[in-house]
Amino acid sequence: MEEFSRFVDWDKMDVSAQSQDTKELTCTDFHELKQLARQGFWAKNHSLRAKVYHKLISNIPCRTVTPDANVYRDIVVKIVGKRSSGSLPLPEFVDDSLVPTYCLNAEGVGAVRKIILCIANQFPDISFCPALPSVIALLLHYNKDEAECFEQVCRILACNDPSKRLIDQTFLAFESSCMTFGDLVNKYCQAAHKLMVAVSEDVLEVYSDWQRWLFGELPMAYVARVFDVFLVEGYKVLYRVALALLKFFHKVRAGQPMESDSVQQDIRAFVRDIAKSVSPERLLEKAFAIRLFSRKEIQLLQMANEKALQQKGITVKQKRCLLMFQQNVHLAVHAENFKSEIVSVKEMRDIWSWIPERFALCQPLLLFTTLEHGCSLSRFYSHSEGHEPTLLLIKTTAKEVCGAYLSTDWSERRRGGNKLSFFGTGECFVFRLQPEVERYEWVIIKHPELASAGSETENHAQPASSTLSSSSIPSDRLSPFLAARHFNLPSKTASMFMAGSSECIIVGGGDGQALYLDADLNHGRTSHCNTFNNQPLCSESFQISILEVWGFRD
């Protein structure tokens, strides 16, 4: 342990938690290494963790020319000069107010700033990297000198494996990761998301803090455990842990009044004091219990979010762009510009909080309404086609209100010829607003084991047997659920999200809910699977009072 003690203030460390056992790590198999990291094999041995970090980081594939320890020794004096390390100004790509000390001594705190400045000198392309100070502060615990730490951080930053994303280095990558995290919260932490919508004016602003929770507020012992697994498994681990933090926050604070005027501040305080309620082991256990998307699906979702930001012209951190972005999100459903005969502005904003973040940047655009265009399925198609995604709203004569978010252009129905063919992606969902608000997830995503049993939908039509592959979808229509094969589903149930023909529309399957609309758009019915205890979407058979279709306008 003495070998890696130069920058550590041991009076602030819990030495009792450290083991003096002389363990060695000899395994090279990835799956075995993953299990050891999750179990904390090297977590209680400071020297062993240092050696494991060195081994894992040394194996990161990097650019041919990556700055090493010798480069640091050559440039540090020139860059720092005779200035006090504690007063060194930090580059704009890091948050000067958030440089964690992680039980470092005075020399270690100064070393963090020196290394950041040298990295800024060697990596001019970095424009936004708020996690960098935390990573450096952590790695100083497990390095003999500044130069060695500098080399390790450079290897992480210079990783050139396209399948192994590590640290965001641009504002575009960071902001799209925040949107992706928001999408994941919407899918996997619905109770917490509902709370965020209720107590925050701008949900995305709350979720933009997700990396700060990990690399700023989380105590040293927790960050180290997260980093153990992160170096083995990559970026997806960060999403998992942040989701677990939000779940624990909701569980601990459920029913309690907010401690401040800002839920952002409350979450930050909760994460800082997490040791009062959750152990590092329990946090990781919760994180890995979440049945998250595959790495490929998350990458696709990230790409889609990046493209949405680029289309909005938001690629760098500029006050004007950020203000426009936040206004687009918060004011997408504006009282002065929105009018529906089915839902109120508040109800539409609630729906907007459920849709993928990249489309929450858009404003609702009324495409079709039975009040103006009549009850014609052909006119429904003609007004809806060419728009992707769309939002279907229905009000029944019994005052029930339900609807669906439909991810795919209705023109896709023609791929099956005259037969009723199913299409769409796993981002589709159905919901109810009246008499009670309820959102229904898809069975084949949330409960894939039920897909093989089929659904009532199969009794009415035979879906197309072929599944959509990523190569058959244009690049401007990326979705995190391009191919149902990701869920290991039989082809018969692969694309049962939405369907349409000249005779009817079928939408649903989520949590056993399915919606059927007849060609005259006057009558409809629902099917409800009794596997779950949720309430039906609406009456089993109903008459339509008003039907609206909404698109998304940039």
Q: Which of 261, 291, 312 is the last residue of a domain?
A: 312
Separation of alpha carbons 294 and 419, rounded Å? 32
> Is the bond leading into 435 cis (omega within 30 degrees of zero)?
yes
**Domain shared by 18 and 153, yes or no:** yes
**AA letter at 15:** V
**Domain shared by 417 and 535, yes or no:** yes
**Domain shared by 268 and 358, yes or no:** no
Of the candidates 234, 231, 230, 247, the residue with the CA atom closest to the CA atom of residue 184:
247
Of the candidates 370, 340, 365, 343, the residue with the CA atom closest to the CA atom of residue 547:
370
Residue 469 domain-assigned (yes or no): no
Residue 405 domain-assigned (yes or no): yes
Separation of alpha carbons 452 and 125, rounded Å? 49
Of the candidates 87, 85, 92, the residue with the CA atom closest to the CA atom of residue 108:
85
- Strands (E) across 88-184 are located at none
Q: Which helix (H) or strand (E) holds 107?
A: helix 106-122
Burial of residue 313, with CB atoms counted within 10 A of its CB: 0-12 exposed, 13-18 middle, 19 or more buried:
exposed
Residue 408 domain-assigned (yes or no): yes
pLDDT of residue 247: 95
**Domain shared by 148 and 175, yes or no:** no
Helix (H, G, I), strand (E, B) or coil at 371: helix
CA-to-CA dists, residue 360 to 269, 352, 390, angstroms: 28, 6, 12
**Domain shared by 145 and 257, yes or no:** no
Of the candidates 83, 137, 143, the residue with the CA atom closest to the CA atom of residue 115:
137
pLDDT of residue 481: 43
**Domain shared by 425 and 532, yes or no:** yes
Residue 411 domain-assigned (yes or no): yes
pLDDT of residue 291: 85
**Domain shared by 502 and 533, yes or no:** yes
| Residues lower than pLDDT 70 in the chain | 1-2, 15-23, 96-97, 255, 258-260, 315-335, 441-496, 509-513, 527-536
**Domain shared by 37 and 129, yes or no:** yes
Each residue's pLDDT tens digit, 392-424 = 999 999 999 999 999 889 998 888 777 777 788
Other beta carbons within 10 angstroms of residue 269's beta carbon come to: 14
Alpha carbons within 13 angstroms on the beta-carbon side of residue 318 total 7
**Domain shared by 121 and 18, yes or no:** yes
pLDDT of residue 381: 94
CATH number at residue 259: 1.10.472.80
Q: Which of 158, 179, 202 is the last residue of a domain?
A: 158
**Domain shared by 142 and 103, yes or no:** yes
Alpha carbons within 13 angstroms on the beta-carbon side of residue 234 total 14
Separation of alpha carbons 116 and 100, rounded Å? 13
Q: How many domains does the chain divide into?
A: 3
**Domain shared by 436 and 530, yes or no:** yes
Residue 478 domain-assigned (yes or no): no
> What is the reported pTM?
0.78
Distance of alpha carbon 525 from its chain centroid, rounded?
34
Residue 430 domain-assigned (yes or no): yes
Separation of alpha carbons 209 and 506, rounded Å? 39
Structure tokens at 516: 């059927």
Radius of gyration of the chain (CA): 26
CA-to-CA dists, residue 295 to 39, 237, 396, 450, 550, angstroms: 21, 10, 41, 23, 32
Q: Which of 158, 183, 201 is the last residue of a domain?
A: 158
**Domain shared by 27 and 85, yes or no:** yes
Give the pairing of strands 363-369 and 401-406.
unpaired
Separation of alpha carbons 298 and 300, rounded Å? 5
Q: Which domain holds residue 264?
A: 171-218+234-312
Residue 486 domain-assigned (yes or no): no
pLDDT of residue 278: 95
pLDDT of residue 442: 55
Of the candidates 425, 329, 357, the residue with the CA atom closest to the CA atom of residue 184:
357
Separation of alpha carbons 158 and 203, rounded Å? 33
Separation of alpha carbons 165 and 181, rounded Å? 15
Q: Which helix (H) or strand (E) holds 429?
A: strand 429-434
pLDDT of residue 509: 54
**AA letter at 326:** Q
Residue 275 domain-assigned (yes or no): yes
